Amino acid sequence: MSRGGYGGGGSGGGYGFGLGRLLIFLLVIATIFGLVGAVY
């Protein structure tokens, strides 16, 4: 369990993503794809 860190607070090393950071990352990706889709 030294690589994951997705479900926890992000202190598990490896990627270090918390659940909040993962949701924010997905929101940013969705926004970027939305803008690209609006342009094209």
What are the average pLDDT values for consecutive 10-residue runs of the chain, which has 40 residues? 45 55 85 88
Query: How confident is the model at residue 25, as a pLDDT?
Result: 84
Q: Who contacts 36 (Cβ-Cβ below 8 Å, separation ≥6)?
A: none
Query: How confident is the model at residue 3, as a pLDDT?
Result: 46
Kindly report each contact of residues 7-13 with a partner whose C-beta sits within 8 Å and lies 24 or more positions away, as own/partner. Answer: none
Q: How far is CA 27 from the centre of its chain?
A: 8
Q: Who contacts 12 (Cβ-Cβ below 8 Å, separation ≥6)?
A: 1, 2, 3, 4, 5
Query: How confident is the model at residue 23, as a pLDDT?
Result: 79
Query: How confident is the model at residue 32, as a pLDDT?
Result: 92
